[in-house]
Amino acid sequence: MKLKTLLAAGVVAMSSTAAFAGCAIENSVPLKSLSAGFEAWKAVTDAMGECGNFEASLDQEFREKQPEAFAADPSLYHIGGVANATMIPLLNAGSIRPLDDLVAKYGQNLTPNQLIKVDGKVMAVAMMVNAQHMMYRADILEDLGIAQPTTWGEVLAAAEKIKAAGVVEYPLGGTFKTGWNLGEEFVNMYLGEGGTFIGEGNMPTINNAQGVAALETMKAMTAYMDPEYLVSDSTYVQQQFQQGKIAMANLWASRAAAMDDEAESQVVGKVVMAAAPNGSAAPASSLWWDGIVFASNMSDEEADAAFQVAMEGIDSEMVSANNDAAVWLIKGYTPGKLATGAAATAANGALPYPASGPMGIMHTELGNGIADYLNGAKDAATTLADIEAAYMTAAKEAGLVQ
């Protein structure tokens, strides 16, 4: 007993020393950051905070604030957290700076993979990847003698068997909430069919056989899903999983840790992370990255300090302390069993999310337009034609299409 207490005290003492020693530099320039608010960003900004003089805003609505805040002169924030798509408005407005010289000076620990290059210049430093991939209840599939499904055809067949066996309430879960989530599901499926979204002159190119195939797979899925699928977002699907109500879902890698969270989950250790099922051409998933950008409108001294602090935030120490919080791209990360799904999805050739200005509009129109097809109000071809028409209206208004 006494020994245990002593040991525990020792561990606490050691970890607090580790916290003090968390930052190698002493920062004297006041710095601010604005990023999304999920677990990984919390870990990274906490690590940055150890350098002192640093204030982090973790905000789920960051993408609405960022363009204006970074366009101000001087910029309201020095460091920004972005993903593929949310970097576009900053890039377009020229409010983030090229980082080549800073990377050369302070970026010894970065891997080439982390450097996000646009037109040859490093514009952001990536820290993690995220993708939707297959999660399934190994115990259920094993009981029913179903092999790990690798294509959407197999997933639907497995769902049929699970439905017949009646072991869970709904065989499939899906992040089909109207809006961004539903749009993203189509993006995944359509990439899986080998489609492209935007063609020459920013014209839409989704009304084709691949688009119809993607929609049909989505509709086939709904037969095995909670009938209230149009209101279920990632958190809802995650909870359905945790409560043992669903057996399979193509869910975000960042949600994987929640499956084994003993405080919330009733299915600890039963959920296996696997690659995203394939469509007829590629994995039905898109790769996202999250990373750090730096404002143009700040002095070079501030940029220097901000970059150094950011490097401390995404160093190997932070990763080893928060190994399972995300699928990190940082040196020192050991991919655990929770990361296998995302890794396998990428290895199978999943494409990056095709972020661009026109794609932002396309994603919105997809998210708003697909519900009509799933509700049965329109057939697949009409739905896609209407989405293209809506895209054209919005793109013309934005000046992207003449």
Q: Which of residues 90-109 bind another protein (CB under 8 A)?
A: 92-95
> Using the rule CB under 8 A, is 226 a contact of another protein?
yes
For residue 201, the 8-state DSSP code is G
CB of 254 to another protein, least distance (A): 14
CB of 190 to another protein, least distance (A): 17
Which one of residues 116, 214, 310, 311 is an interface residue with another protein (CB under 8 A)?
A: 116
Which one of residues 75, 86, 207, 322 is an interface residue with another protein (CB under 8 A)?
A: 86
105 φ, ψ to 5°? -80, -50
Looking at residues 347 to 366 of the shown chain, list those that interact with another protein (rule: CB under 8 A). Answer: 347, 351-352, 355-361, 363-364
Which one of residues 42, 161, 163, 378 is an interface residue with another protein (CB under 8 A)?
A: 378
> Using the rule CB under 8 A, is 282 a contact of another protein?
no
> Using the rule CB under 8 A, is 217 a contact of another protein?
no
Which residues are CB-contacts of 235 (< 8 A; sequence separation ≥ 6)?
Answer: none
Which one of residues 114, 132, 242, 278 is an interface residue with another protein (CB under 8 A)?
A: 114
Residue closer to another protein (CB basis): 119 or 301? 119
CB of 346 to another protein, least distance (A): 4
CB of 183 to another protein, least distance (A): 9
Which one of residues 103, 167, 321, 394 is an interface residue with another protein (CB under 8 A)?
A: 394
Residue closer to another protein (CB basis): 306 or 327? 327
Residue closer to another protein (CB basis): 33 or 86? 86
Q: Which residues of 66-90 are buried (b: 16+ CB within 10 A; e: fewer)?
A: beebbbeeebbbbbbbbbbbbbbbb
> Using the rule CB under 8 A, is 387 a contact of another protein?
no
Count of residues in contact with another protein, rule CB under 8 A: 72
| Residue 384 host element (H or E) | helix 380-398
Cis peptide before 149 (omega within 30 of 0): no
Task: State the first-to-last Cα distance of the chain, in angstroms, to the nearest integer.
Answer: 77
Looking at residues 286 to 345 of the shown chain, list those that interact with another protein (rule: CB under 8 A). Answer: 287, 289, 296, 327, 329, 342-343
Q: What's the farthest any 2 CA atoms get from each other in the chain?
A: 77
Residue closer to another protein (CB basis): 52 or 179? 179
The three-class DSSP label of residue 146 is coil
CA–CA separation, 15 vs 267, rounded Å? 31
Looking at residues 196 to 215 of the shown chain, list those that interact with another protein (rule: CB under 8 A). Answer: 200, 202
> Using the rule CB under 8 A, is 283 a contact of another protein?
no
| Residue 32 host element (H or E) | strand 31-35
**Token pair recorded at residue 137:** 């209840």
Q: Residue 101 class from Cβ within 10 Å (0-12 exposed, 13-18 middle, 19+ buried)? A: middle
CB of 144 to another protein, least distance (A): 23
Q: Which residues of 319-357 are buried (b: 16+ CB within 10 A; e: fewer)?
A: beebbbbbbbbbeebeeeebbbbbbbbbebebbebbbbb
- Binding segment for another protein (CB under 8 A), chosen from 213-221, 227-235, 254-262, 314-322, is 227-235
Residue closer to another protein (CB basis): 12 or 223? 223
Residue closer to another protein (CB basis): 285 or 308? 285
Residue closer to another protein (CB basis): 141 or 374? 374
CA–CA separation, 116 vs 125, rounded Å? 6
Which one of residues 88, 213, 311, 330 is an interface residue with another protein (CB under 8 A)?
A: 88
Looking at residues 140 to 199 of the shown chain, list those that interact with another protein (rule: CB under 8 A). Answer: 177-180, 182
CA–CA separation, 250 vs 356, rounded Å? 24
Task: Look at phi and psi of residue 236 and say left if phi exceeds 0, alpha if psi is from -120 to 50, else beta.
Answer: alpha
